A and B are shown apart, each in its own frame.
Chain A
């Protein structure tokens, strides 16, 4: 069963703590993306990677970091430098027809 999996579904972060969101896909897609979704706003691009060992900053990369050591995996770390991290995070992989396949999302809350 091909797809894209995000974990965890819910995540709580304390002030000053780094947390890592997992994103795994078995669709054999080269391109993977991380988006942030806030109420009433469109998805905003955090980071994207079009090939293993390479990634690019999106529109709101400050306070986030990523790695792409394997084609299947694109984890996102929310660092303590991100001042307003509470949001819904979506990971996507994109095929050659530019169709995006999304994970189920991770809701991050600062406590």
Chain B
């Protein structure tokens, strides 16, 4: 069964600091990988997308990386802000609209 595993489950960082979230997957065949941000009680919103041939993609202070050989991705948050407090979900797509979701990493940014 295709799986997406994220680590850590949760983390707490001070405002202004950086952090990195990890995503390992076994999904095959692979179409693309997205990172979503989900605020509490809201639906997830897409942050970045990467296809098989892409290694890195940035969206403001968010930078995602992908190693398709090792099936690993990371999301790096630079100079964290209080508004970055949310769950970050790694989602891997197969070619037939099937999506596999990780359990998410809950990030808490403290002043």
- Consensus secondary structure, chain A interface: strand
Contact B45 A99 (CB under 8 A): no
| Chain A: CB-nearest residue to B43 | A102
Residues of B near A42 (CB, < 8 A) are 4, 89, 101-104
A19 contacts the other chain (Cβ, under 8 Å)?
A: no
Least CB distance, A21 to chain B, in whole angstroms = 13
Residues of A near B9 (CB, < 8 A) are 40
Contact B49 A50 (CB under 8 A): no
**CA–CA, A99 and B91, complex, Å:** 10
Contact B101 A43 (CB under 8 A): yes
Residues of B near A50 (CB, < 8 A) are 97
Least CB distance, B34 to chain A, in whole angstroms = 7
**Interface residue from A90, A98, A104 paired with B93 (Cβ < 8 Å):** A98
Contact A99 B34 (CB under 8 A): yes
A52 contacts the other chain (Cβ, under 8 Å)?
A: no
Contact B93 A102 (CB under 8 A): no
**B residues within 8 Å of A by Cβ?**
4, 9, 31-32, 34, 36, 41-46, 49, 89, 91, 93, 97, 99, 101-104
